[in-house]
């Protein structure tokens, strides 16, 4: 459906808080979305009078935006799939439908954001924006200055060389790493390529949002300045 007040279907879905635009496209392609009773297609536009359903369930207008910071424990999986034991949505237990911004490995801990704002998800995850994410990493044996320098300059994993990053030693086994990209299990793969095994991996910052004093397993709403900082990007 087209018109002056229409929006793209994936944007409409993301604004209801069901999922991100990226996931909405996947759901449309998978045939899970209908528009006015007919299977929806990528690129369809939606007006106020249109009816959109996902898996037969009617979705409504945009909900109040929610932005949450969670200190994720080890063992929690960053998925919205309810059948996955220990999924992050059940762990948080929020009354509204929210989803994680990106991922943090099941074996990793620390800061992860959750929201119902699909637009901010795309903005944060878009690799060309080079948003910083900061980690504290502990490995199984003392790490050399040479290895720290190699991590900083880039390591070849999965057939590509990682982007240069900031690496600072904390103690013989531990260092701080600031990345601007998010390849799958990137830090673990980088360390493994140099002969180290990650024993603890904790994310402590995403852009300007710090983990701070938030204890493991706890979550909080982002402050107004933190939300404003995200929305400016």
**Any residues with CB less than 8 A from the CB of 51 and at least 6 apart, and which?**
35, 36, 37, 58
105 is catalytic: yes
| Distance between CA atoms of residues 205 and 211, nearest Å | 6
| Distance between CA atoms of residues 2 and 6, nearest Å | 6
3-state helix, strand, coil in the chain (%, to 5): 25, 30, 45
Question: Which entry of 105, 117, 208, 210 is annotated as an active-site residue?
Answer: 105
| Distance between CA atoms of residues 163 and 134, nearest Å | 14
Q: What are phi and psi of 225, to 5 degrees?
A: -60, -35
In this structure, are residues 15 and 118 in contact, taking their beta carbons and an 8 Å threshold?
yes
Supply 68's token pair. Answer: 């949450």
In this structure, are residues 174 and 137 in contact, taking their beta carbons and an 8 Å threshold?
yes
Looking at the annotation, which residues are catalytic?
Answer: 105
């Amino acid at each position: 459906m087209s018109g002056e007040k229409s929006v793209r279907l994936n944007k409409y879905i993301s604004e209801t808080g069901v999922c991100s635009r990226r996931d909405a496209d996947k759901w449309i392609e998978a045939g899970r979305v209908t528009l006015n009773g007919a299977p929806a297609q990528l690129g369809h536009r939606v007006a106020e009078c249109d009816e959109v359903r996902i898996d037969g369930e009617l979705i409504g207008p945009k909900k109040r935006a929610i932005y949450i910071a969670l200190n994720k424990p080890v063992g929690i999986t960053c998925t919205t799939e309810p059948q996955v034991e220990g999924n992050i949505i059940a762990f948080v237990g929020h009354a509204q439908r929210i989803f994680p911004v990106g991922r943090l490995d099941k074996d990793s801990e620390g800061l992860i954001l959750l929201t119902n704002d699909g637009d901010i998800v795309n903005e944060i995850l878009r690799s060309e924006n080079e948003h910083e994410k900061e980690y504290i990493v502990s490995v199984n044996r003392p790490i050399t200055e040479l290895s720290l320098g190699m991590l900083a300059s880039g390591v070849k994993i999965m057939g590509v060389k990682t982007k240069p990053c900031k690496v600072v030693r904390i103690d013989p086994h531990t260092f701080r790493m600031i990345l601007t990209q998010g390849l799958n299990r990137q830090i673990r793969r980088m360390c493994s390529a140099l002969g180290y095994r990650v024993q603890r991996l904790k994310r402590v910052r995403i852009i300007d949002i710090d983990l701070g004093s938030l204890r493991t397993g706890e979550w909080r709403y982002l402050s107004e300045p933190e939300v404003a900082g995200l929305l400016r990007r």
